[in-house]
Amino acid sequence: MPYFEKGAITTDTLCLQSADEYHGLATTMWSIKQHLDKEHAERWDRPVIVPGVVFTTDGRQLGYGKGYYDRFLGSHRQKYNLIPVTVGVVLKHQLVPDVSTTANDYLTDHVLHGS
């Protein structure tokens, strides 16, 4: 579960233990449910759903322009020497043949889409 702080350019990921825990979370100013503090932060070894506007079948993606997930993956790699498996879930019209990327962009490991 992403954890954002107002004005920050980075994000952490916190674990949820149950759906009940999710339903008890506070809602942020962006209407995103999240923990109020980082006390639940831990090494993340579960798949991460990566949001995006469009994806290519080889895992390149165009997101929303803030780079939160790329920074999260980079900082997680530095802290734990591990990059979680990433998954993009998209509609068929979000698949495109090509997307420009930079050296700071991480490829999405799996892109799931309808036929």
Using one digit for the tens of pLDDT, what is the confidence trace for 30-78?
677 777 666 655 556 678 888 889 999 999 999 887 888 888 888 888 8
Which pair of tokens denotes residue 71?
């920074």
Does residue 17 sit in the same domain as residue 72? no
d(CA 68, CA 75): 11
What pLDDT sits at residue 53? 93
Does residue 50 sit in the same domain as residue 33? no
Does residue 65 sit in the same domain as residue 26? no
**Domain range enclosing 107:** 44-115
pTM for the full model? 0.66
For 19-49, give the secondary structure using H, E and C: HHHHHCCEECCCCCEECCCCCCECCCCCCEE
- 33 vs 10, higher pLDDT: 33
What pLDDT sits at residue 100? 92
What pLDDT sits at residue 37? 67
Does residue 10 sit in the same domain as residue 26? yes
d(CA 11, CA 88): 18
**Strand (E) or helix (H) holding 55:** strand 54-55
